[in-house]
Amino acid sequence: MPFFQPKVTPLPSGIDLQGKSAVITGASAGLGLETARQLLTLNLSTLVLAVRNESKGKACMEALLADLDISSKSPTIKILKLDVNDNTSIISFSKTLPQILPVVDILILNAGISRLKHNPSPTGHEESVQVNYLANTLLLATLLPYLTTSASQTGSPTRITWVGSRMHEIMTSFPKKSPLVTHTSILEYLDAKSTISPFSRYADSKLLCAMFMYSLAPRVDPRKIVLNMVCPGMVDTGISDFLPVYWRVLVDLVKAVRARSVEVGGWLIVNAAVVAGEESHGRFLGDKEVLEVSKYIRSEAGREVQENLWDETMVELRKITTLPEELR
């Protein structure tokens, strides 16, 4: 991955989302909020901001509606609580969403965290694994029937874009530590306190996301669901604000030289969700280009981990919800 990121061209002209609806998780800041703004300026009719803090979400809604480029289009914006660190909240969200939004055209899975320290989640898993991976698998498991029905009603596939990271290719601990050699399960390996380097934790969680996307895509009908994953590169957001001061200063210096603006990052997410065609189904987009499956995932060890991860994830999901046909 080059230090200096390539230039990104703006979105093509002529995109009109009139009559379309979208749901964005992690929508109250950074890339989620910027993606919301861009979709609304493209004439999106209905938007659901899925947020942990409803007061903050309402403030974001008011700010968006105060934008003249948005208010002139008279969109409908709704706030729906979603705490991805709480499985009960995820289930409640999945039950409520179809009640307030009968049909959805676009789902953007943007919520995520980056942590150096091992933090336990209330769900019993490590927090990065829960927030970045398991929460999204639970959302997909509980929403798939609704998303498929939406496609039948609109006559067009529902678009799901999951925000991933190319860090899963270059920073993961898996090739060196072989979790299935040292542990009885992949999730056990990731949940353990001392097995993962702080600098691999984020990449490892994003590796799980990519593997799940590659496993799920062949199981859904692309005429009903188009699922892709996109990495917008290094973007100048607050995702590194959790770092200790000495690390944050260094990262901020790198950002000053290398990071893209939030607007450019938003272009790439919107491109994956709206512009990329059915050929992007089951594919990982680096910027706007489809990337080859990572060397590790293609390896024999990687394929074994991917298969085991799918089985383990289904076991976890069955504890919480009834699986749709595509996941059985």
Would you say 229 and 209 are in contact if contact means Cβ atoms under 8 Å apart? yes
Closest by Cα among 203, 90, 89, 104 to 158: 104
Would you say 109 and 35 are in contact if contact means Cβ atoms under 8 Å apart? no
Catalytic residue, chosen from 133, 202, 214, 296, is: 202
Measured distance CA(100)–CA(142) in Å, rounded: 16
Closest by Cα among 125, 75, 97 to 25: 97
Measured distance CA(234)–CA(254) in Å, rounded: 10
**The tokens of 292 are what?**
């080859």
Catalytic residue, chosen from 206, 224, 255, 288, is: 206
200 half-sphere exposure, CB direction, 13 A CA radius: 18
Q: At what angle do helices 54-66 and 30-41 cross, to 10 degrees?
A: 40
**The tokens of 202 are what?**
């984020």
Q: Is 202 a catalytic residue?
A: yes
User: What dihedral angle (degrees, nearest 10) is formed by the CA atoms of 175, 176, 177, 178?
Assistant: 30
Q: Is 189 a catalytic residue?
A: no
Which amino acid does the sequence have at 109? L
Closest by Cα among 221, 211, 262 to 239: 262
User: What dihedral angle (degrees, nearest 10) is formed by the CA atoms of 126, 23, 35, 274?
Assistant: 110
Positions marked catalytic: 202, 206
